[in-house]
Amino acid sequence: MKIALVGNPNSGKTTLFNLLTGMNAKIGNWPGVTIEKKSGTIKNTTHEIVDLPGIYSLSPYTEEEKVARAFIFNESPDLIINIVDATSLERSLYLTTQLLELGIPVLIALNMADMLPKRGLKIDIQKLSYELKTEVIQISALKATGIQDLIFAIDKTKAPIPYGIYDANIENSIIKIINNLPSNLLYKRFVAVKILEEDKYFSKYNFPILFDIIKETSHNYDTDLEEIVATERYNYIERVREICINKIAQEKTISDKLDEIFLNKWIAFPLFALIMFLIYYLSVGVVGKSTIDLINNITDSLKIFISNWLSNFKISNLIISLIVDGIMTGVGAVLSFVPQLIILFLCISILETSGYMSRTALLLDKLFKKIGLNGKSLIPFIVGSGCSVPGIMSSKIIENDDEKKMTAILTPFIPCSAKLPIIALFTSYFFPNNSGIISASLYFFAIVIIIISALVMKKFVFKNTSSTYISELPEYKLPSLKYVSKDVFDKIISFIKRAGSVILICSIIVWFLVSFSWDLKYNLGIENSILASIGKKISWIFVPMLGTNSWEVTVSAIQGLVAKEQVVSSMAVIGGVSEDLQNTNFILNNNGAFGFFTSVSAYAFMVFNLFSAPCFGALAAMRKEIGGTKELLKVISFEISLAWLLATIVYQIGHRIEIGIFNIANFIIVAILIAIIIKICMSKLKHQNSECARCPYCKSCDKN
């Protein structure tokens, strides 16, 4: 039996899927789109279950809805398990009414019903089953209760009895349309309703007689039929709610109490800023400071051991240099930052699974809307903190095309796991006592530049940015240790795989270019190498932002286009190959940083790598989202120019006024926090001076 698992986002669908399959799922992408596809076999059965993307309806407004509807129409599942959030019955049942119209057997899994008493509610399961004319099983996906009852009900669930939920005029029109549809067509009632709504997906059935039926029906209403059908659905859902839900003594939920803090208009923004600061302070500052030297010492000892061991077998110096100075140095320089990444991914995963990030998206929606973005833009930004590639790809969830393009372009500005090694390396060496604060300042710097860039794009490039963000806030919950561990593990493995593939290849290439001259003679000195000759031709470009001419830094920064981790790897390989450090214009210390950097130029170099064009993988993902190679070239030019300009400004100002970069970083953080507080105070004052009787809590007021 083929089963489709369908439900709203945040309804517990993924948790239920994992319980049913034992987490033995096949994961891939749906054909033609980057939305994740999961399928598996229900434990102790032969039933195949497919986890469809989280959707609110079967109307094709989003990529997820298109995927879900296409699967149902093309694959014809034998059964649909519709997971319904009992705490948001009205919202969940809208999708249910559409599923019931398909005529496919629908088994409803009523999730989180155990939380209803805290909301002062109780659902009569028998009445709900009778009203919906299908089987309803009460479960708790989080507590793993009711799962066996759900599995047992799969084989006995039958197709729902067709019945009318609309007024007589709509119902008569539906019957007329059904009678004029092809006899072999599946899901006739669903199709008839969609034709009545003038859904373009079913325009192929626009026979003249159907036009007459639609025209005749619409004459009885003052608005379009799609709105009438939606209103009738909600009227039906309201009737079901009145019949099946009873009010009992209500108690304040933990989520309500936490929302009073995290969504408080006075402290919500400062709390968000503090949380993000602590994440970077913990991952880069505390952990980075304590692990980089330790791992580097282990790596150095291993390189010495391997070098001596190979020498015992009379292996040539060229091969030893390739293995030790090329492969081990390049890959090891990147892998030494894995502990920081583990902490970063762990913190982000906890925030996501706890329900806090959904609140943050809602919180930032007002700000995002003013700069031409959408609350959903936060999701690509958060995902992008792990890797820009999935971050850019997740911008698909944004319906407005201009907002989607802006989000895809700006997502690489968020410090990702590939940029973290650069930040951790330079902050730990040049700012050993303040590495956490310096790294956090770069994160807030990125936020400021994203806001400014978005405003510029909204003004001059993307002007159609006016969509509305709607999101359901899930209950706060303790993160699942199993899920968080698996999420962090998958991300770390992905990072290590890249270090073992792209970084490995690039490290070998850099070693070759830095070890050989143009006439392919080995070990003539690093200044006579192929890489040095190339770097010297273009190193002048970096002089304004570094204060010195360095081909080593130039070629390392350019390799960031292949992979940002390669910046650190390239520096390590260049330094590792050089035998006579005194004759070069740089000194490589144990941390892999070039000695001629000052604190100001080091910060400027980090700024350049933060905002310059992302790696090839991210650029490929961006090309698909923004509409072609021509647009991509414009974006690359914009990001490289912006990065160079910002880095130059940082260096020139910091160098001329001779102010410590630590003070500049503190100034950036404090200035942002002060701006947030002033904004909140001004907003509050505006409300107090307004004549709106509903202030200050009216969400619909444009002054709120």
Note the helical H segments in 219-286: 225-244, 254-262, 268-280
Q: Residue 390: is the preceding peptide bond cis (ω within 30°)?
A: no
Rounded Cα–Cα distance for residues 62 and 185 (Å) = 25
Which pLDDT band holds residue 156 (cuts at 50, 70, 90)? confident
Residue 385 predicted with pLDDT over 60: yes
pLDDT over 90 percentage in the chain: 8
Instruction: Give mean pLDDT, residues 383-403.
Output: 75
Cα-Cα-Cα-Cα dihedral sign, residues 684, 687, 693, 698: negative
| pLDDT at residue number 544 | 87
| 521 vs 397: which has the higher pLDDT | 521
CB 588 within 8 A of CB 429: no
Instruction: Output the six-digit token pair for 211.
Output: 């036009």
Q: Best-predicted range by mean pLDDT among 53-57, 270-274, 604-608? A: 604-608
Stronger pLDDT, 387 or 144, i.e. the higher one = 144
With beta carbons less than 8 A apart as the criterion, state whether 100 and 132 touch: yes
Where is pLDDT greater, at 381 or 132? 132
pLDDT at 100: 92
pLDDT score of 693: 39
The CA–CA distances, whole Å, from 414 to 380, 447, 607, 662 equal 10, 8, 11, 21
- Name which of 214-228, 498-512, 542-556 the model is least confident about: 498-512
Tell whether the model's pLDDT for residue 320 goes beyond 80: yes
Answer whether residue 466 shows pLDDT above 70.
no
Statement: residue 588 has pLDDT above 50: no
Residue 584 has a pLDDT of 35
Residues 237-258 pLDDT 10s: 989 988 988 876 556 677 778 8
Please give the mean pLDDT across all residues of the chain. Answer: 78
Q: 191-195, 364-368, 430-434, 468-472: which range is least confident on average?
A: 468-472
Distance CA 523, CA 525 (A): 5
**Amino acid 109: pLDDT:** 94
Range in 405-409, 577-581, 676-680 the model is least confident about: 577-581
* Closest residue by Cα to residue 513 from 566, 554, 570, 565: 570
Which of the four pLDDT bands, split at 50, 70 and 90, describes residue 3?
very high
* Confidence at 592, pLDDT banded by 50, 70, 90: very low
Rounded Cα–Cα distance for residues 338 and 474 (Å): 32
Alpha-carbon distance of 499 to 30, in angstroms, equals 27
**pLDDT-based confidence at residue 585 (cuts at 50, 70, 90):** very low
Locus of tokens 């939606």? 230
pLDDT above 70 covers a percentage of the chain that reads: 81
Strand order, beta sheet including 106-111: 26-29, 36-41, 48-51, 2-7, 79-85, 106-111, 136-139
Looking at residue 84, what is its pLDDT?
93
Tens of pLDDT along 625-683?
A: 887 788 888 888 889 889 988 988 888 888 776 555 555 565 565 566 556 555 555 55
* Lowest-confidence pick of 90-99, 316-325, 463-472: 463-472
Residues ≥6 apart with Cβ < 8 Å to 680: 265, 266, 269
Report the pLDDT value the prediction gives residue 135, as an integer from 0 to 100. Answer: 92
- Is residue 475 over pLDDT 70? yes
Region 439-445: what's the mean pLDDT? 84
Q: In this structure, are residues 297 and 592 in contact, taking their beta carbons and an 8 Å threshold?
A: no
Lowest mean pLDDT among 40-49, 203-212, 506-515, 692-701: 692-701
pLDDT value for 580 = 39
331: enclosing H helix or E strand? helix 329-335
The more confident residue out of 674 and 176 is 176
Where are the strands (E) in 453-568, listed by range?
none
What is residue 35's predicted lDDT score, i.e. its pLDDT?
60
Backbone angles phi, psi at 594, to 5 degrees: -80, 130
pLDDT, tens digit, 9 for 90 and up, residues 185-218: 888 899 889 888 888 777 666 677 887 888 888 8
Confidence tier at 699 by pLDDT (50, 70, 90)? very low
**Sign of the CA dihedral 250, 252, 253, 256?**
positive
Q: What is residue 545's predicted lDDT score, i.e. its pLDDT?
A: 85
